[in-house]
Amino acid sequence: MTTTTVGGAAAPVRPTAGTRRGAGLTEVAWDPDGFWGTRQRVNAEHTFAHCIAWMERLGWLENFDRVGRGETTVERAGWQFADSEVYKLLEGLAWELGRRDDARLAAAYDALVARIAPAQDPDGYVGTAFGHPGLPPRYSDMSMGHELYNMGHLMQAAVARLRTKGEDPLVSMARRAADHICREFGEGARETLCGHPEVEVALAELGRATGERRYVDQARLFLERRGHGTLAVRPLLSAEYFQDDTPIVEAEALRGHAVRALYLSAGAVDVAVETEDVALLAALERQWAHTVERRTYITGGMGSRHQDEGFGEDWELPPDRAYCETCAGVASVMFSWRLYLATGDVRYVDLMERTLHNVVATAPDATGTAFFYANPLHERVAGAEYAGEGVNMRAEGGVRAPWFDVSCCPTNVARTLASLHSYAASVEERTVSLLLYAPGTIDVAVDGERLRLRVDTAYPDGGTVAVTVEEAPAAAVTLRLRVPGWAREATVAGPAGGTVGVAPGWFEDARALAAGDRYVLELGNEPRLVWPDPRIDAVRGTVAVERGPLVLCVESTDLPAGVRLEDVRIDPDAVPRASGDGAVVSATVRPALPDAAGAPPYQATRPVDPGAASSDVALVPYHRWGERAPSEMRVFIPVAGR
């Protein structure tokens, strides 16, 4: 097997095979006031400290202290996966410190590492929920114990640190943990696997970052063990829940617990790429396609069922019961990004953009200190304003909460935002592709020379993207601009002069560039109706409105007094008009229907449309729903006359 090291500046996901790489953390700098730059700034200024404060308050850091002091008891704080939140936060801090200096966050990183390091056992095991006095024995609950899951997140944090700053105590810790796992779970040792995938993607990335091939081999072993009914099942937690029902290479679609399925898939792409397993990569592409075609919400959200936080059957996409966990959005981006790097197919970036703008950006509020866990597309009853001092059990009520009993989402958002700009562009030999649009600077190495581009745009609130060359290599470069799938009438004006129409996919131009050369991509930014596939029973007879990459929604906050959300019906023949960052649509408001005097809401005669008053209704971007006040909300709006 031959592999080519692509090198490049530090970033998540660095395949050692193939020639395509994402931009490095220091190769893209987003302006601090753009759509994503604002979120990165808020993340750095507020979210990290917020998460540390909650972990301290709930005793999740104290858990490490107790193990280090040999003082564990049955009274341990938090769930068995609480350790992973500390590691995810460390990963976020490591990426953040890799993109910019920050003495306060550097001190926070050092303090956390000093705090957790004493908890590692001499043989490399680290975990605060098992294997110490008063706690269950190590590896006594592979289905739900999350021990390898936790150590996987430790490794991902170490990968972030190793790529950005080099060896340090956290990296040493992760190496010892990985060595322990290889000994305990290698060929001929414990022939089992972890109920929550994560260690696979972590081992593959740690193998890349350290050059230790055996970590990749161990990841492959875990993947091969999955799908054979090894894990003990429980009521409501079937083999499918754990993706232990079917071998990965044979599966047709993602199924079971959504975050598990997506982390597993991300790790499987990494292993397929590192081992040049064409069949495995093809299986994952097939599963991605099936899942996107039939099991994904318009927001990019995944997971239709609250009961097991899982995927539903094909076309089972209820808007009101949508689970769409924020972490599933993060994990979907991880999966799609890997498939893009492996194949170059633009559709993976299209889904990333959809998911980032409509799930990941939706979770945190503007202060970066309250988060959605679930992201339903229809809220029938406005949530109660969150006023509690304690944790929210799950926050399914349409109100962002500062912390959760199971608090996986806030730290997942934090680590994603800190490294997100590395997805803004990719480099392949002498081709540079712009993928996610935000104002800022892209400064990448092309065969050892700099290509420096200035991007000016109001995206996603504006559809114009201006790219100005500030510095370019002497020889020709191929510059590619992604044209999103929704942009049906896009045009580009380039240095060659004139304006050309471009179809969704790529605009591509190969030439020797010079400072001052300029490309202006016009994607359009008018709101548009988007119709659901008629096989999605739950939203038949409705339509959604999108604008650019944003899904819009109606909030009760914007309805005229006395108008109820369930009585608003959109006029499908009227073109939605742009308004602020949202839209205004022509709608009819049905008079309130009488209740059926104790009878069930079904009748033998076909209902007659009672007539309606016309009204303009305002729509806002889904990513900021519920920010002004708790509200009733819906994305799919019933069509008048249906």
Least separation in angstroms between residue 628's CB and Zn ion is: 24
In the list 126, 408, 451, 619, the residue contacting Zn ion (rule: CB under 5 A) is 408
Identity of the residue, 97 or 408, whose beta carbon is nearer to Zn ion in the bound complex: 408
Least separation in angstroms between residue 254's CB and Zn ion is: 17
Least separation in angstroms between residue 129's CB and Zn ion is: 18
In eight-state DSSP terms, residue 354 is H
**Euclidean distance between CA atoms 203 and 67, whole angstroms:** 24
**Euclidean distance between CA atoms 182 and 272, whole angstroms:** 19
Residue among 345, 206, 224, 216 at smallest CA distance from 273: 216
Query: With CB under 5 A as the contact rule, which of the stretches 147-155, 201-209, 409-417, 533-541 interacts with Zn ion?
Result: 409-417
Query: With CB under 5 A as the contact rule, which of the stretches 75-83, 232-240, 362-370, 408-416 interacts with Zn ion?
Result: 408-416
How far, CA to CA in Å, does 441 sit from each of 256, 352, 506, 626?
A: 40, 21, 20, 32
**Euclidean distance between CA atoms 275 and 294, whole angstroms:** 30
Identity of the residue, 209 or 408, whose beta carbon is nearer to Zn ion in the bound complex: 408
Query: With CB under 5 A as the contact rule, which of the stretches 208-216, 403-411, 466-474, 515-523 interacts with Zn ion?
Result: 403-411
Identity of the residue, 73 or 307, whose beta carbon is nearer to Zn ion in the bound complex: 307
Beta bridge partners of 579: 582
Identity of the residue, 25 or 401, whose beta carbon is nearer to Zn ion in the bound complex: 401
**Structural contact between residues 262 and 328, judged by C-beta atoms closer than 8 angstroms:** yes
**Euclidean distance between CA atoms 6 and 82, whole angstroms:** 35
* Position of minimal CB gap to Zn ion: 327
Q: Is 444 in the site for Zn ion (CB under 5 A)?
A: no
Q: Is 409 in the site for Zn ion (CB under 5 A)?
A: yes
Query: With CB under 5 A as the contact rule, which of the stretches 238-246, 325-333, 484-492, 614-622 interacts with Zn ion?
Result: 325-333
Identity of the residue, 382 or 408, whose beta carbon is nearer to Zn ion in the bound complex: 408
Least separation in angstroms between residue 387's CB and Zn ion is: 23
**Structural contact between residues 145 and 195, judged by C-beta atoms closer than 8 angstroms:** yes
Identity of the residue, 112 or 406, whose beta carbon is nearer to Zn ion in the bound complex: 406
Residue among 249, 196, 204 at smallest CA distance from 81: 196
Least separation in angstroms between residue 237's CB and Zn ion is: 17
Q: Are strands 568-570 and 550-555 parallel, antiparallel or unpaired?
A: unpaired
Identity of the residue, 198 or 443, whose beta carbon is nearer to Zn ion in the bound complex: 198
> Which residue type, as a one-letter code, is found at position 283?
A
Exposed, middle or buried, 82 (CB in 10 Å: 0-12/13-18/19+)? Answer: buried
Identity of the residue, 108 or 374, whose beta carbon is nearer to Zn ion in the bound complex: 374
b/e map of 408-419 (b: 16 or more CB within 10 Å)?
Answer: bbbbbbbbbbbb
Least separation in angstroms between residue 327's CB and Zn ion is: 3
Identity of the residue, 268 or 408, whose beta carbon is nearer to Zn ion in the bound complex: 408
Least separation in angstroms between residue 395's CB and Zn ion is: 11
- Look-up of token digits 């966990």: 325
Identity of the residue, 374 or 432, whose beta carbon is nearer to Zn ion in the bound complex: 374
- The values of phi and psi at residue 639, to 5°, are -90, 135
Identity of the residue, 79 or 506, whose beta carbon is nearer to Zn ion in the bound complex: 79
Q: Is 399 in the site for Zn ion (CB under 5 A)?
A: no
Least separation in angstroms between residue 525's CB and Zn ion is: 32
In eight-state DSSP terms, residue 287 is H
Least separation in angstroms between residue 359's CB and Zn ion is: 11
How far, CA to CA in Å, does 595 sit from each of 47, 526, 601?
A: 46, 39, 8
Query: With CB under 5 A as the contact rule, which of the stretches 24-32, 229-237, 326-334, 441-449 interacts with Zn ion?
Result: 326-334
**Euclidean distance between CA atoms 328 and 93, whole angstroms:** 21
Least separation in angstroms between residue 402's CB and Zn ion is: 15
Instruction: Please list, in sequence order, all residues whose beta carbon lies within 8 angstroms of the beta carbon of residue 578, skipping any fewer than 6 positions away.
Output: 525, 526, 527, 547
**Structural contact between residues 540 and 525, judged by C-beta atoms closer than 8 angstroms:** no
Least separation in angstroms between residue 245's CB and Zn ion is: 23
Query: With CB under 5 A as the contact rule, which of the stretches 148-156, 203-211, 225-233, 400-408 interacts with Zn ion?
Result: 400-408
Identity of the residue, 327 or 467, whose beta carbon is nearer to Zn ion in the bound complex: 327
Identity of the residue, 220 or 321, whose beta carbon is nearer to Zn ion in the bound complex: 321
Count CA atoms closer than 13 A to 531's CA, side-chain side: 8
Identity of the residue, 294 or 415, whose beta carbon is nearer to Zn ion in the bound complex: 415
Query: With CB under 5 A as the contact rule, which of the stretches 91-99, 105-113, 401-409, 480-488 interacts with Zn ion?
Result: 401-409
Q: Which helix (H) or strand (E) holds 427?
A: strand 425-428
In the list 292, 327, 568, 617, the residue contacting Zn ion (rule: CB under 5 A) is 327
> Which residue type, as a one-letter code, is found at position 309?
E
Q: Which helix (H) or strand (E) holds 406?
A: none
**Euclidean distance between CA atoms 361 and 355, whole angstroms:** 8
DSSP assignment string, 31-82: -TTSHHHHHHHHIIIIIHHHHHHHHHHHTTTHHHHHHHHT---TT--S-TTH
Least separation in angstroms between residue 285's CB and Zn ion is: 26
Least separation in angstroms between residue 386's CB and Zn ion is: 17
Three-class SS state of 138: coil
Query: With CB under 5 A as the contact rule, which of the stretches 115-123, 166-174, 322-330, 433-441 interacts with Zn ion?
Result: 322-330
Q: What share of the chain is helix, strand, coil (3-state, %, to 5)?
A: 35, 20, 45
Query: With CB under 5 A as the contact rule, which of the stretches 63-71, 80-88, 321-329, 520-528 interacts with Zn ion?
Result: 321-329
Least separation in angstroms between residue 86's CB and Zn ion is: 15
Least separation in angstroms between residue 373's CB and Zn ion is: 6
Beta bridge partners of 157: none
Structure tokens at 573: 């023949």
Identity of the residue, 327 or 469, whose beta carbon is nearer to Zn ion in the bound complex: 327
- Look-up of token digits 């920050």: 102
**Euclidean distance between CA atoms 171 and 164, whole angstroms:** 11
Q: How many residues bind Zn ion (CB under 5 A)?
A: 4
Beta bridge partners of 133: none
Query: With CB under 5 A as the contact rule, which of the stretches 175-183, 402-410, 504-512, 539-547 interacts with Zn ion?
Result: 402-410
Binding site for Zn ion (CB under 5 A): 325, 327, 408-409
